[in-house]
A and B are shown apart, each in its own frame.
Chain A
Amino acid sequence: MRVAYYKGCLASLSAKELDSATQALAPKVGLELVELESVTCCGAGDIHEAEPDYYLHLNARILAYAAAEGVDTLLTVCNVCTLNLRQANFILLGDSDVRARVNENLVSIGVPAYERDVDVRHLLWEIAEGEGYEKLKAAAHRGLKGLKIAPFYGCQILRPSRIQGFEDPDRPWSLERIIEACGGEAIDYPAKIKCCGFPIIQAREETALGELIQPIEQAVEAGADAMVTPCPLCHLSLDAWQSKLKAETGRDFKMPILHLSQLVGVAAGLQESELRFKRHVVSVKPMLEKIEV
């Protein structure tokens, strides 16, 4: 399936490993990625809060460029991008007056109007069911050999469910299903649907760390070999801020954190040059050694 690919800021910058793993994985799960060039940041919830009208227009512009590629799906790899784009789409698709005004503004500066609807979908949803899931099962030949993986959803891929709505926000199943299709064992723990603290990690670090420690601590207690997340912001806080937890609490969790594309990529036998685990702060080696990659 041909889809427009919106990689967002992090996969373009500090989480390049997410981009390379996703690009390498895509053909194996039946996705042909059309990378969008003329697009900007979705605003990450921050522009929505600082200048909401600008947020709506920037996201409409992204949707318009995706529609101009003639595709039905705009593929995302980040919870926050997914929510921002779907929220804008929700408004634009549901309110013709707002859409007419936004389109008039877009056209006046030379952006194509957002006429044909596109659906914003996270990679997670594409490979958790249907054709993507069948292809994933076939591609994951190498397998995870029973590794215990803690799924960490984060917030904005589940809530608000009125806008996201792919699965029950209190009992999600998609990551577990993928982990098991890859030959891993999905472990369960209460904080898998809670916040990693990232949105306030700079403005209110102490509060954010109090949130961050919960999922990591619980995953360790449940015996996880690694955690997997569909969101590069969750990844950044879980991976990079673990050292701050160590400084604050004296506990060194050493919990490897994988992007969704990397976890499936390992099972599908992708190379280190594509997975780029060297870019992680917490070493993934102990986990990889267990399955002798």
Chain B
Amino acid sequence: MQVGLKVWRYNARTGERELAEYEVEAPEEATLLDVLDIVKDKHDGTLAYRKSCRMMICGSCGMRMDGAAVLACKTRMYDVAQAGHVPVISAMGNLPIVKDLVVDMEPFWHKFMSVDPFLRPGYDEPPGGRENLIRQERMNVIHKESLCINCGCCVSECNAMESDPRFLGPQALAKAMRFVGDPRDGHKIERLDALNSEHGIWECTRCYFCNERCPKGVDPRDAIAKLGAESIKEGIDGDMGAKHAKWFVVSAKTTGWLRETELVPKTQGLVAAIKQTRFALDLAKKGKVPPPVPPHVAKNVRQARQLHDLLQQQGVNGYAGIVQGEHALGKLAHGHVSGETLEEIYDRPGAFPRPYIEEAEEAVTS
């Protein structure tokens, strides 16, 4: 098959950028990485990209295709080529580019190392040299996090890190959860304390790009939620993010609905909240600061309170409370009215095209 690529070439020394176009003959089963190999072998030996295993294990070939981070070795090109689409290939985001598609992973590894990504054993050795047995369900908690191959696709798209490069980010936090949740590790509290710092857990903006992009199903955002839940369970709840989260629990069990106006002082503390007075007054003029008295109370709110009490007794707290849907894998059906497939829906007039259809840009702007 004929495959076309547009590749953002970059020279870090001169700062020059250039969109180079290639068209090559490739076998139908070719991945994006295979196509890049063909370009490099037969057309342009100066093209730079990383690769190693070619089988989704080493995590070297993270890059962007049409703006979305992918593993080049996992991305088949057949459908793209068939649609006549020429995708734009560029380096991952949130990391400095060294050359073409190669990014400097140094900031990534720095954050990775900062979470002590290794087991620090803290269990009693069973007597007689026997194995230390752990129940499967204890390990299930960190099953997804253990799948991470450090490719950086999540980091590439992280919206919070784009705004604040100091944010620890989805990869380091997911890796941290892998050890926080490991029953053999003896430093959970110490780890959680460190992760509750300025650029830790509570800087995550919940954009879910990490879950969307991860090629291995790690779901880093879910890992971050587990870290938050475990921190709060352990009483490590001094961060504004933790206070913010806890206020929703208080609101739900007292009035049922969010006690919105009290959220700012409960999160930031009274002094900081007072500094926001002017801003708050501007909002109040528009009815955006609903008076806390009388509270807006849901009917049957006592049930929400009873439910809370009941669950406290049952004690499914912290990361153990997060059901990851391992048994619910699959997708909620949308039951589109006409019974059409998603592809058919995107093909309808007025609908915006799926990727791989060249008119995409024009259709959106026209």
> Among B67, B308, B323, B352, which residue has its beta carbon within 8 angstroms of that of A54?
B308
Taking a contact as CB atoms under 8 Å apart, the answer to whether B306 and A12 are in contact is no
CA distance A50 to B352 in the complex (A): 38
Closest to A282 in B: B286
Taking a contact as CB atoms under 8 Å apart, the answer to whether A52 and B225 are in contact is yes
Taking a contact as CB atoms under 8 Å apart, the answer to whether A155 and B208 are in contact is yes
Query: Interface with A: B36-44, B79-87, B186-194, B295-303, which one?
Result: B295-303
Taking a contact as CB atoms under 8 Å apart, the answer to whether B260 and A14 are in contact is yes
CA distance A236 to B255 in the complex (A): 22
Question: What 1/0 flags go to A193-216 for Cβ under 8 Å of B?
Answer: 011010110111011111100000
Cβ–Cβ < 8 Å partners of A186 in chain B: 364
A220 lies within 8 A of chain B by Cβ: no
> Among B239, B251, B310, B361, which residue has its beta carbon within 8 angstroms of that of A105?
B310
> Among A53, A125, A160, A244, which residue has its beta carbon within 8 angstroms of that of B316?
A53
Taking a contact as CB atoms under 8 Å apart, the answer to whether A170 and B67 are in contact is yes
Interface size on B, residues (CB 8 A): 96
Taking a contact as CB atoms under 8 Å apart, the answer to whether B257 and A105 are in contact is no
B263 lies within 8 A of chain A by Cβ: yes
Question: What 1/0 flags go to B319-353 for Cβ under 8 Å of A?
Answer: 00111010111111011111000000110001111
> Among A93, A106, A109, A281, which residue has its beta carbon within 8 angstroms of that of B283?
A281
B282 lies within 8 A of chain A by Cβ: yes
Interface size on A, residues (CB 8 A): 94
Taking a contact as CB atoms under 8 Å apart, the answer to whether B241 and A203 are in contact is yes
Taking a contact as CB atoms under 8 Å apart, the answer to whether A168 and B355 are in contact is yes
Taking a contact as CB atoms under 8 Å apart, the answer to whether B249 and A54 are in contact is yes
B102 lies within 8 A of chain A by Cβ: no
Most chain B C-beta atoms within 10 Å of own C-beta, residue among A40, A48, A166, A187: A40
Cβ–Cβ < 8 Å partners of B225 in chain A: 45, 48-49, 52
Closest to B309 in A: A109
Within 8 A of A (CB), among B122-172: 159-160, 162-164, 167
Taking a contact as CB atoms under 8 Å apart, the answer to whether A51 and B229 are in contact is yes
CA distance A51 to B237 in the complex (A): 12
Cβ–Cβ < 8 Å partners of B311 in chain A: 51, 53-54, 57, 105
Query: Interface with A: B13-21, B22-30, B104-112, B199-207, which one?
Result: B199-207
Question: What 1/0 flags go to A63-103 for Cβ under 8 Å of B?
Answer: 00000000000000000000000100111011101100000
Most chain B C-beta atoms within 10 Å of own C-beta, residue among A13, A131, A194: A13
CA distance A131 to B306 in the complex (A): 41
Cβ–Cβ < 8 Å partners of B68 in chain A: 170
Taking a contact as CB atoms under 8 Å apart, the answer to whether B303 and A41 are in contact is no
Taking a contact as CB atoms under 8 Å apart, the answer to whether B329 and A94 are in contact is yes
Taking a contact as CB atoms under 8 Å apart, the answer to whether A200 and B303 are in contact is no
Cβ–Cβ < 8 Å partners of A57 in chain B: 307, 311
Taking a contact as CB atoms under 8 Å apart, the answer to whether A37 and B248 are in contact is no
Known: A203-B240, A279-B286. A171 touches B353 (CB 8 A): yes
CA distance A190 to B296 in the complex (A): 39
B244 lies within 8 A of chain A by Cβ: yes
CA distance A240 to B299 in the complex (A): 30
CA distance A129 to B348 in the complex (A): 10
Cβ–Cβ < 8 Å partners of B361 in chain A: 188
Taking a contact as CB atoms under 8 Å apart, the answer to whether A49 and B229 are in contact is yes
CA distance A219 to B294 in the complex (A): 39
CA distance A279 to B209 in the complex (A): 32
A259 lies within 8 A of chain B by Cβ: no
Query: Interface with B: A173-181, A248-256, A264-272, which one?
Result: A173-181
CA distance A180 to B167 in the complex (A): 39
Taking a contact as CB atoms under 8 Å apart, the answer to whether A49 and B245 are in contact is yes
CA distance A194 to B252 in the complex (A): 29
Cβ–Cβ < 8 Å partners of A163 in chain B: 332
Taking a contact as CB atoms under 8 Å apart, the answer to whether A50 and B229 are in contact is yes
Cβ–Cβ < 8 Å partners of A119 in chain B: 332, 334-335
A156 lies within 8 A of chain B by Cβ: yes
CA distance A49 to B206 in the complex (A): 11
18 of the cross-chain contacts (CB-CB < 8 Å) are A14-B283, A14-B290, A55-B321, A56-B323, A58-B252, A61-B303, A105-B314, A108-B310, A131-B337, A163-B332, A171-B352, A173-B353, A190-B67, A200-B241, A203-B239, A203-B240, A280-B286, A281-B288
Chain B residues packing against A (C-beta within 8 Å):
66-68, 159-160, 162-164, 167, 202-209, 211-212, 219, 221, 225, 228-229, 232, 239-249, 251-252, 256-258, 260, 263-264, 267-268, 279, 282-283, 286-290, 296, 298-301, 303-304, 306-308, 310-311, 314, 316-317, 321-323, 325, 327-332, 334-338, 345-346, 350-355, 360-361, 364-365
11 further interface pairs, Cβ-Cβ under 8 Å (given A37-B299, A49-B229, A202-B264): A13-B260, A38-B299, A49-B232, A53-B314, A54-B307, A56-B323, A86-B332, A195-B159, A200-B241, A208-B205, A243-B279
Which A-B residue pairs are the 9 nearest by beta carbons? Answer: A94-B328, A210-B163, A173-B352, A130-B337, A52-B321, A159-B208, A53-B321, A188-B364, A40-B256
